[in-house]
Amino acid sequence: MQFNLLDNGIDSLKASGDILLDFYLDYEFERHQIKDAVFHLMHGVEIVSKYLLSQKNEELLFKKLIEYQEARKKMEDDNLFSVFDANPEIRTIDGMTALKRLDSQTRVKIDDELYDSLNQIRLFRNQLTHYTVNLDDGEFVSLVTLIRRTFEKIIILFEKNIPQFKNRFKELAREEPVTEYDEYLDRLETLSLMAHEDARLDYDDDRDDILESQAMRDKD
């Protein structure tokens, strides 16, 4: 299996976009849906940002330049596939740092409003990960609106700076796994169809009995 940075990031962005598209208009999110949208969005932003950095220089992906250089040398000396084979503990930068490096070291410019929006969503994600989140209805609507608008802006940014992004985003199919809930709905539908068919057969049998009885009375 090969799953490169760009396709990996697009996959996460599509997952977030699908959730937002399905539930944004009427705000009918359940807790896990908004959680999934946030985690997928931030993961996709981080991975595609790292893809853009890697197009300029792979070393921009790593926290410590010396660690990268040592791992790179070992990889080349031992004919390994990647620096992670040379040093499994080597550390890459986080998503917000990737955005900062894009802005400062490449031609990709991240405006302050977009950066601040992503940082707010990051903080919410961290709360979901490490703490408890309590939002009233107004705060929840504001959060969903922020996520949706930020998603649209980041897609535009990536389309502008990655020539193949738009086509890959359209082409890359995301196959959703069948969940227990999906199977439950399928069983309900099957049971409903079976009940409908049983009722129809019972009705036909009752009607035949009535017609037969009526015919006998008419004959008498």
Task: Report the percentage of the chain scoring pLDDT > 90.
Answer: 48
Total-model pTM: 0.73
The mean pLDDT of 19-45, rounded to a whole number, is: 76
Give me the numbers of helices (H) and strands (E) for the chain, helices first please: 9, 0
pLDDT averaged over every residue in the chain: 81
User: Once rounded to an integer, what is the mean pLDDT over residues 148-167?
Assistant: 94
Could you give the dihedral angle defined by the CA atoms of residues 124, 166, 21 and 31, in that order, rounded to the nearest 10 degrees?
A: -30
72 vs 132, which has greater pLDDT? 72
Q: What pLDDT, on a 0 to 100 scale, did the predictor assign at position 19?
A: 83
For the segment 25-51, the average pLDDT, to the nearest whole number, is 81
pLDDT for 141: 79
Of residues 199 and 180, which shows the higher confidence score? Answer: 199
Instruction: Please state, in angstroms and rounded to a whole number, the distance separating the CA atoms of residues 36 and 92.
Output: 23
pLDDT: which is higher, 17 or 213: 17
Q: Which residue has the higher pLDDT, 139 or 63?
A: 63
What is the DSSP track for 176-204? Answer: PPPPHHHHHHHHHHHHHHHHHHHHHHHHH
Mean pLDDT across the stretch 88-103? 93
Percent of the chain predicted with pLDDT > 70: 71
**Average of per-residue pLDDT across 181-204:** 58
pLDDT of residue 178: 47
d(CA 13, CA 15): 5
